[in-house]
Structure 1
Amino acid sequence: MKRGIFILLILCIVLTGCWNRRELNELAITLAMGLDKIDDEYVVSAQVVVPSEVSMKGGKGTTPVTLIQGRGETVYEAIRKMTKSSSRKVYPGHLRMLVISESLASEGIGHPIDLISRDWELRSDFYVAIAKDSTAEEILNVLTPLETIPANKMFNTLKVSEENWAATVGITLDQLITDLISNGKEAVLTGIIVTGKQELGSSTENVITVTPSAKIKVDDLAVFKGDKLVGWLTEDESRGYSGITNHVKNTVGTISCPGGGRASLEVLSFKSKVKGKVKNGSPEADINVKIAANVGEIECSIDISKAESVEALEKLYEKAVKVTINDSITSVQEKYETDIFGFGNAIHRSYPNEWKTLKNQWNQHFTEMKVNIKVDVKILKTGTVNNSVVESRKD
């Protein structure tokens, strides 16, 4: 009897299969997806890998990706309708980029994101971006020379730009959903644009020339109020946002010297802390920024071997950062009236009881709140040359 039960258990393990198993040759591996809306219908574009063109053995010389599309009254319906033109089922399990058109984002991204967040096949670590001044389909149609797969190009460019320039922010699906449902912080997304001759971007000639006819470029930040896009930040305002929200990993800061010329600092560390407080019923925020930097370039007559010269550069950059952050806040308060910086969350953490009365009209309170900014810059290294090479030659 025991032997029979043992054999039955072994057979259960051996014969168990995976109910949702898929063969690789039955799937269309999708690395980027675009969402547009035309005539009250959603248009979903899937950038799908052509296996034969990305294999080690080499392909037939055609494009490494193809675009599969579907139209429907809902995003879910549009995705299913892709099967009308594809011999394989679209599989988004390796998605790297979700691109939403600017026009659709202006109407609201809540419904499309609802579907995307429910799909069990999707991971949530892909980036979400906005197609600026074009459709998502047009963005996904551009072939890229440096990366074989355009989706990888967009993903890596966004990542590298965030880490080295700080005017863009890589927002994953998880972060976007968190911001959309939060009372104390509104969402932002990075814009993606096509420069050059957009109509030539889908041709293989775009990847075999030194200067491509069309290029994909990450741009500034899109501002949301609720789930609707309401405007765009400038590059400086986008960098101010990154500074406030601790998205600056490494960047370059350029300042004007008192006697003319400019100096550039390489920012190695940029840490900001936002503390919310309530005074006499009115919300305020304190922003404390600490920056560590090296001197990268000097184009003015200043001797950085002297301590007072280094201190002068530190003070100049402190002032420049403070102006950038303040201008970013003021612009959003006046033009968009939407708290993308998360000051509401800071108030909620420090004053939970007061937050209960503030949260229902928070964006209105945000436009009127006072923000105090303190910046501390420390220059760690000045390089091996004390004076500007050009200025030394003039002397």
Structure 2
Amino acid sequence: MKIIRLVLLFTCIILLSGCWDKKELNEVAVVIGVGIDKVSENEDVYEITAQVIKPQTEDKGSELPTWSVTAQGETVISAIKNMNRLSPRRLYWSHLQIIIFGEELARDGVAPIITWFERDRDSRAGSYLVVTRGSAQDLLNQKIELGSIPSKAMSDLLDSAEQRQIIARKVKLRDFTTALATPGIDSSVDVIHPKVIRGEVEAYEVKEVAVFKDDKVVGYIDGPEIAGTELLKNTYDYFILEGACPGYEEELFAFQTTDFESEDELILKNEELTYKVNIFLEGNLSDQTCPVDLLAKDKMEQVEKKIGEVVTSQIENEFELAKEMGSDIYGIGQKLRRSYPNVWKEVKDQQNEILAKVKFDIQVTSNIRRSGLIIEPTQIEIE
């Protein structure tokens, strides 16, 4: 028994040897966000800005809780090596929350950039990936009113998009690299702008999506059309649709979904491609500007029909806008490759021709459950 106990004791000592790769916080500089730009004067040079969390001190005062360090290099790793020359602590990337591409870089191509983020053992594949219209460094260094850490403020803006009922792609590094490596589909990612209020930048705004063709931004889509891609993902449970009130085309109603399901299928018949989409959604009337009882049977049927028209137009319009840019953000080629692999082999290099042949067959079933806390709108009660 003594021998057995000794063997067990030594086994436990070996197994409980501690964390061999531990990182003490007072030894590293924790990077929470990174912005990447192309140097205008030299197109072969990248400029990388890392936003680092400062160690907490007792006397904070008005000092910003972050420090930004910027360096240039012909590759990502060379720029990071140059940043390490400036930082008294080694940059630590395991808590990276957001990667920002400046517009000039994004239009030039981002494939050479993301390789390091994929390979580095400390980097996070779950970091959000976004584009900004101007300089990534400028966006990252903006001081905003609500949120002392810019990178976290932008990350939170995407994290809570569904709760705030706004449309956001919420594309992560792993999603983007997967799309790049998958034939027949292109990416679209969120665009973040600095928001000027009272003459100064006070907040960030998620507005537009950047449309990629392979690894390059080829254009932008704004407005209600950007909901099209999200409607096809079957992950869009809570959102608001607006449509014209029946009989009052200048007035609007707002429909807030509480349940949403979608199915799609690409059908090839007689050399014609039909993209068949079935959507079911139900929810509540949350607002209206027209003085009419939209819960009356005849009006409710018209509203439900209008909801279907709005959903159909958003899907078709976004597809058309992306198609004009030569981008397949709906993954029509990917669906063709999966369902008809022999056909895909023959036409895989003819993306524009494939997209031009696609016709939509969209069936929307909508169901209004209730109208919130009241039955009749205030306008009717006043009358």
Normalising to structure 1: TM-score of the pair? 0.88
Q: Distance in 1 between matches of 2:93 and 2:150?
A: 15
* Pair 10,313 (structure 1): closer, same or farther in 2 beyond 3 Å: closer
Counterpart position of 2:228:
240
Counterpart position of 2:358:
369
Give the 5 Å matches for 1:343-362. 343-362=332-351
Q: Identity over aligned residues, as a percent?
A: 27
Q: Distance in 2 between matches of 1:246 and 1:343?
A: 16
Give the 5 Å matches for 1:178-257. 178-196=178-196, 213-257=201-245
For residue 257 of structure 1, report the CA deviation from its aligned partner.
1.4
The farther-off stretch of 100-109 and 369-378 is 369-378
* Pair 274,72 (structure 1): closer, same or farther in 2 beyond 3 Å: same
What is the one-letter code of the residue matched to 1:382?
S
Counterpart position of 1:293:
283
Contact 1:291 1:376 in 2 (8 A): yes
Normalising to structure 2: TM-score of the pair? 0.90
Q: Distance in 1 between matches of 2:195 and 2:305?
A: 38
* Pair 14,282 (structure 1): closer, same or farther in 2 beyond 3 Å: closer
For residue 239 of structure 1, report the CA deviation from its aligned partner.
1.3
Residue-by-residue CA offset, 1:338-377 (whole Å, 9 max, x unaligned): 1101222222333333333232323431133212222111
* Pair 347,214 (structure 1): closer, same or farther in 2 beyond 3 Å: same
Contact 2:194 2:201 in 1 (8 A): no
SS of the residue corresponding to residue 90 of structure 1 reads strand
Q: Distance in 1 between matches of 2:356 and 2:106?
A: 23
Q: Distance in 1 between matches of 2:286 and 2:75?
A: 52
In the alignment, structure 1 segments of 5+ residues that lack a partner are 198-209
Give the 5 Å matches for 1:116-131. 116-131=117-132
* Pair 83,378 (structure 1): closer, same or farther in 2 beyond 3 Å: same
Contact 2:225 2:314 in 1 (8 A): yes
Q: Distance in 2 between matches of 1:299 and 1:44?
A: 48
The farther-off stretch of 234-243 and 134-143 is 234-243
For residue 289 of structure 1, report the CA deviation from its aligned partner.
1.4
For residue 212 of structure 1, report the CA deviation from its aligned partner.
6.0
Q: Distance in 2 between matches of 1:331 and 1:315?
A: 24
In the alignment, structure 2 segments of 5+ residues that lack a partner are none
Q: Distance in 1 between matches of 2:11 and 2:292?
A: 80
Counterpart position of 2:177:
177
What is the one-letter code of the residue matched to 1:83?
N
What is the one-letter code of the residue matched to 1:45?
T
Q: Distance in 1 between matches of 2:350 and 2:97?
A: 36
* Pair 121,392 (structure 1): closer, same or farther in 2 beyond 3 Å: same
Contact 1:244 1:274 in 2 (8 A): yes
Give the 5 Å matches for 1:93-172. 93-132=94-133, 134-172=134-172
Q: Which structure's residues are more often helix, by fraction?
A: 1
Quick check: 1:319 aligned with 2:293?
A: no
What is the one-letter code of the residue matched to 2:241?
G
Q: Distance in 2 between matches of 1:77 and 1:41?
A: 10
Q: Distance in 2 between matches of 1:286 and 1:360?
A: 23
Counterpart position of 2:259:
269
For residue 216 of structure 1, report the CA deviation from its aligned partner.
1.6
Residue-by-residue CA offset, 1:107-132 (whole Å, 9 max, x unaligned): 10101111111111112111000012
What is the one-letter code of the residue matched to 1:245?
K
Q: Distance in 2 between matches of 1:318 and 1:7?
A: 68
Aligned-residue Cα RMSD (Å) equals 2.5
Q: Distance in 2 between matches of 1:348 and 1:123?
A: 30
* Pair 317,17 (structure 1): closer, same or farther in 2 beyond 3 Å: closer
Contact 1:164 1:250 in 2 (8 A): no
SS of the residue corresponding to residue 327 of structure 1 reads helix
* Pair 305,162 (structure 1): closer, same or farther in 2 beyond 3 Å: closer
Q: Distance in 2 between matches of 1:17 and 1:256?
A: 64
SS of the residue corresponding to residue 349 of structure 2 reads helix
Contact 1:301 1:391 in 2 (8 A): yes
Contact 1:162 1:247 in 2 (8 A): no
What is the one-letter code of the residue matched to 1:140?
L
* Pair 58,278 (structure 1): closer, same or farther in 2 beyond 3 Å: farther
SS of the residue corresponding to residue 184 of structure 2 reads coil
What is the one-letter code of the residue matched to 2:299?
S
Q: Distance in 2 between matches of 1:25 and 1:41?
A: 32
Counterpart position of 2:82:
81
* Pair 166,339 (structure 1): closer, same or farther in 2 beyond 3 Å: farther
Q: Distance in 2 between matches of 1:156 and 1:15?
A: 37
* Pair 10,323 (structure 1): closer, same or farther in 2 beyond 3 Å: closer
Residue-by-residue CA offset, 1:83-134 (whole Å, 9 max, x unaligned): 22110111110011011111101010101111111111112111000012x1
Q: Distance in 2 between matches of 1:142 and 1:179?
A: 31
SS of the residue corresponding to residue 186 of structure 2 reads coil
Contact 1:166 1:250 in 2 (8 A): no
Size of the aligned set, in residue pairs, is 376
For residue 300 of structure 1, report the CA deviation from its aligned partner.
1.4
Q: Distance in 2 between matches of 1:10 and 1:129?
A: 48
SS of the residue corresponding to residue 100 of structure 2 reads strand
